[in-house]
Structure 1
Amino acid sequence: MRIAQLANFIGPASGGMKTAVQTLGEGYTEAGVPRLLVVPGPRDARTQTEHGDVVQLRAPRVGGGYRLIVEPWRVTEVLEQFGPTSIEISDKATLMPVAHWARRRGVRSLLFSHERLDAMLSLRTGWETGIAAPVSVLNRMLVRSFDEVVVTSRFAMREFQHLAASAGTALHRISLGVDLATFAPTPTREPRGDVLRLVHAGRLSREKSPHLAVATAVALHERGVPVHLDVYGTGPHRDELEEIAGTAPVTFHGHVAGRRALARRLGEADIALSVCPGETFGLAVLEALACGTPVVTAAYGGALELVDDLSGAWGEPDPDSLADAVLDLASRPAEATREAARERAEQFCWSHTVRDMLALHAGLTPGPTAGLVLAGREERTA
């Protein structure tokens, strides 16, 4: 078995996808499987690493710091040299011809869907109508082009379920994992004080809903709740967020260098706000839970499936409903919710993700649960 991973549309907001691609690749090589990674970049380059070669193909910027490979035939040239038995594509934009190349050569093709297009476009553009039809056309083409489609949540699965069934394409739900060693409870954390310490970590762009997190802190402040929100991350909408915050106790810290430094800050908070209703999985949720910090999330989206009744709370995606969820969570015994948060995160192991993906690459079918341990509120994720 020889696996080629293709991670297109790389940019500053793709941290979760980068983490997943990197961790899976490390797992493949540790299992003794040769692996090649192809990514876009400012220039052509090839780098040898302990986890396989990384080929960077020159690609233009397409807005927001993203780069996108627009010459798929250059990808197939690289693949011809590597000779994969299967390819794993994390892209829905320009690499569909690579799946067609794979089919002609008897190479297995897997689409790893890291986002739900209708939800992402709606959040990014603010449009409520006019998105469903073109997204459906693209998804119909995707399920007919790939041998397998992989999603990470029930919420993400619904984007493809009927289309994949009609095309006869296998659809698999496989959860991601979290680095439980790096993201761990802070041993020297101070007990909860008079001020409720909230945290939000992520890209400051509309598709991640930081506006909703900041507005939730403002709603609590306006109710007279002693609260402080720390925001970690950068992005194009920081000015808008600062305007929303106004005089409320919200501090914007910018980028945090190093995952351990971020873990320490997550662990110091009382509650994490990860409230995007369009997340297909929510690695930020798992990272906070792993640090022992309970999470408030929206009552829609894949992130909800990671939070159970003991480790967090949820509300409608509006500031007042989420503020109610924060107060509900804060009213519970802190020690119990923090223990439950860590225990919840421990149910999501990268080793299970790697195992199930290797099975797909080998032409096998993962187990019926495919590594997923979900909170069981399917009716709330419509």
Structure 2
Amino acid sequence: MVHRITLFHSIDPRGGKVGGIETHVRLMLSRHPDSVSMLLVGIDERGDLEIGKPVEIEYDGRSIDFLPVVHIPGDSLHAAARKITQSVTLRFTLGIMRHLLTIRRLAAGDTASTEIERFEQAIPARLIGHPVVQLVHNEGTRGDKMDSLLGRHWWLHRLSEKIALALASRVVGVNPSIIARYEREMPRIARKSEFMTVSVDTERFPAAPFPTTDVFRVVFAGRLDAFKDPPLMFETLRRLHARLGGKLEFHYVGTSDPHRDKEFAAIEPFTVRHGFQTGEGVSAIMRDCHAGILTSYFEGMPCYLLEALSSGRPVGAIRLPQYDPLIEAGVSGFLVERPEDREAAAEAMADGFARLAADIAAGRLDPGAIRAKVTPYSVAVQLPKLFERHIALGRVRSPARQPGAASPANSRSH
């Protein structure tokens, strides 16, 4: 018996969109068990596919079915929408609705379920007719720094959340604070919710000895969205560069333009921009650096953090509660409480990194001990649990209630 999972996300598996959610989606596509077949409903980033027509593609050695429902060029994916009509999420959701009958046909299997990463896709996901697993990746609150339209239309986000949580068969929050809020504010939702972080591919991100260069290298991988607080990150690095007598490099992996924050000008001379990288590329860059940095106002559970620790690299971060089990002083990095004064925050972060550089140079940090922090979050430990949740939900559905038999091309084991 083959279980069919339909996954909605505004991604082209052949494209270059990066981020924690994208990493999770790619792991679902590449690490599904033989008893599961995957249908990705996504976007055509290149403009070379017929919209609404399914294609079978190979992704990371695995065969998946891919249905593009809208064409959105890759360069449009990296800029925050300023108007509703520019919203990638809205355009993608409308594309799903236009091709809902095709999705219903392709989504059928011996048993089946649907997974969504965004609240906005909850209604079309439910209309497919299968149980829905809703992943909740962020816990931002009204007033938090945001690039997207959510910052100006927070009420719409909260409305979408309430609808999505009500329609979901299972809710998975990627950090404990998300589940704690549901227990506090929505006890009925909490009863069908669980905590499970995104997973880290520890095989792709192996630990390695620290590079022997006397130039301290700090790496960040991901988008430079406003909630990541790039100005604080850049100011920290400027101060650290002075503290270390110029022996500092900042390695940025991602497609955002750092020039939109004026603070970047001061660190540009010692910044190496790597652009988009595959997982293997990110892994190689991390192993060639000494430490990672996080300055976000809020997060779910950053894949970048897990990948850095898996690579044996400590991380200095503005503290968020979900970091506490992972970042331990003297073992895997340091945490700084966010003060109200930005100057104080940058100074405290620079002090922490200066101590970290000294500890690494003196051999006081062990990459193996750092990597051990993420063992419970590895793909091998966590993804089987998530796939089992999908399969268990599918079993409670009678075959007679499936919305149509799958065609042979879409019911095989991949």
* Same structural fold, with TM-score higher than 0.5 when normalized by the shorter chain: yes
Does 1:259 pair with 2:279? yes
Look up the match of 2:22.
Answer: 18
SS in 2 for 1:122: coil
In the alignment, structure 1 segments of 5+ residues that lack a partner are 365-382
Look up the match of 2:357.
Answer: 330
Does 1:311 pair with 2:332? yes
SS in 2 for 1:308: coil
Does 1:5 pair with 2:28? no
Alignment map for 1:283-302 (pairs within 5 Å): 283-300=303-320, 302=322
CA–CA distance in 1 between the matches of 2:204 and 2:385? 23
Shift of 1:172: 1.2
Deviations 1:221-268 (A, max 9, x none): 344654413232344442134643426763132415433332222112
Does 1:80 pair with 2:92? no
Shift of 1:280: 0.5
CA–CA distance in 2 between the matches of 1:144 and 1:88? 15
Using the aligned pairs only, state the percent identity: 18
Structure 1 residues 7 and 335: CA distance shift in structure 2, 3 A: farther
RMSD of aligned Cα (Å): 3.3
Q: Counterpart amino acid of 1:79?
A: I
CA–CA distance in 1 between the matches of 2:365 and 2:243? 26
Contact 1:297–1:314 under 8 Å retained in 2: yes
CA–CA distance in 2 between the matches of 1:311 and 1:3? 39
Does 1:97 pair with 2:123? yes
CA–CA distance in 2 between the matches of 1:52 and 1:129? 35
Shift of 1:60: 5.2
2:70 equivalent among 58, 64, 71: 58
Structure 1 residues 177 and 108: CA distance shift in structure 2, 3 A: same
Shift of 1:151: 1.4
1:321 equivalent among 332, 337, 348: 348
Look up the match of 1:281.
Answer: 301
SS in 1 for 2:160: helix
CA–CA distance in 1 between the matches of 2:127 and 2:374? 39
CA–CA distance in 1 between the matches of 2:194 and 2:251? 34
CA–CA distance in 1 between the matches of 2:184 and 2:71? 34
Shift of 1:92: 1.8
CA–CA distance in 2 between the matches of 1:174 and 1:186? 27
Structure 1 residues 248 and 6: CA distance shift in structure 2, 3 A: closer
CA–CA distance in 2 between the matches of 1:260 and 1:227? 27
Look up the match of 2:407.
Answer: none
SS in 2 for 1:80: helix
Higher relative contact order (Cα pairs below 8 Å, separated by 6+ residues): 2
In the alignment, structure 2 segments of 5+ residues that lack a partner are 80-87, 339-344, 394-414
Report the count of equivalent residues.
356
Q: Counterpart amino acid of 1:294?
A: P
Alignment map for 1:1-382 (pairs within 5 Å): 2-10=3-11, 14-28=18-32, 30-41=33-44, 42=47, 43-44=50-51, 45-49=53-57, 50-59=62-71, 64=78, 66=88, 68-82=92-106, 83-84=108-109, 85-93=112-120, 95-102=121-128, 105=129, 107-118=130-141, 122-125=144-147, 133-158=155-180, 160-167=182-189, 170-186=192-208, 190-191=211-212, 193=214, 195-223=215-243, 226-241=246-261, 243-246=263-266, 250-300=270-320, 302-309=322-329, 310-317=331-338, 318-332=345-359, 333-363=362-392
Contact 1:315–1:324 under 8 Å retained in 2: no
Shift of 1:169: 5.2
Contact 1:234–1:255 under 8 Å retained in 2: yes
Shift of 1:320: 2.0
Shift of 1:14: 4.2
Q: So what's the TM-score if we normalise by structure 1?
A: 0.80
